[in-house]
A and B are shown apart, each in its own frame.
Chain A
């Protein structure tokens, strides 16, 4: 089955710098890649996604890149702010009628003021 590896378990950046979180997946049938943010004691909050028919998507300070050949996708947070501090999860899902998510292990991002 699908496996998603999230490469950075922790990441510290200075406020205003960019943060990059990288994920790889194993199943070429995966075609939908969402990202979620989890703040302390809270549930998962959707932040951005990308589908396999594009290789880049931007929403304000968030950019997602997808490299299907390498089976890799990444979240770029530009101009980081202290409120970006949280755990970020990547996930992969297939488009074969079964839309369950397979999650990465999470990256704890700390933005230092």
Chain B
């Protein structure tokens, strides 16, 4: 079991550019969660999917951020027109979709210059 896979592990982008982050959940898991970690804000929930359907995107900034889960094996988080304040570690987690342990990936460290 490879665990949750996130790519890329590091991304540097210029202000105003687009960034797409990828997450491959553990095989068989039906729920995918996205969180963001910064020194100032800590760990913040962004959005989550269950059986590929969006369940809660209450943590997503209303503009520029979007997430999709086109199939069981991957989810993407897209940030348009990136800003320096988007710099963070973006964490993806998965589980079987019920009230259970979430397993976290290694994260994508995004730096917006």
- CB-contact partner of B99 in A31, A43, A46, under 8 A: A31
Please tell me the number of chain B residues within 8 Å of chain A, measured between CB atoms. 25
Q: Is the CB of A43 within 8 A of B45?
A: no
Partner of B43, one of A49, A89, A94, A97: A89
- Judge if B7 is at the interface, Cβ distance under 8 Å: no
- Known: A102-B45, A103-B43. Is A42-B106 also a contact (CB below 8 A)? yes
- Chain A residues with CB under 8 Å of B44's CB are 103
1/0 contact trace for A21-50 toward B, CB 8 Å?
A: 000000000011010100000111110010
Q: With A100-B45, A101-B45 in contact, is A46–B101 under 8 Å at CB?
A: yes
At the interface, yes or no: A105 with Cβ under 8 Å from chain B? yes
**Complex alpha-carbon distance, A106 and B93, angstroms:** 18
Identify the closest chain A residue to B92 (Cβ). Answer: A43
**Cα distance, A44 to B3, chains bound together (Å):** 12
Complex A-B, nearest 9 residue pairs according to Cβ-Cβ distance, in ascending order: A103-B43, A44-B104, A100-B45, A95-B99, A43-B104, A32-B99, A43-B106, A105-B42, A43-B107
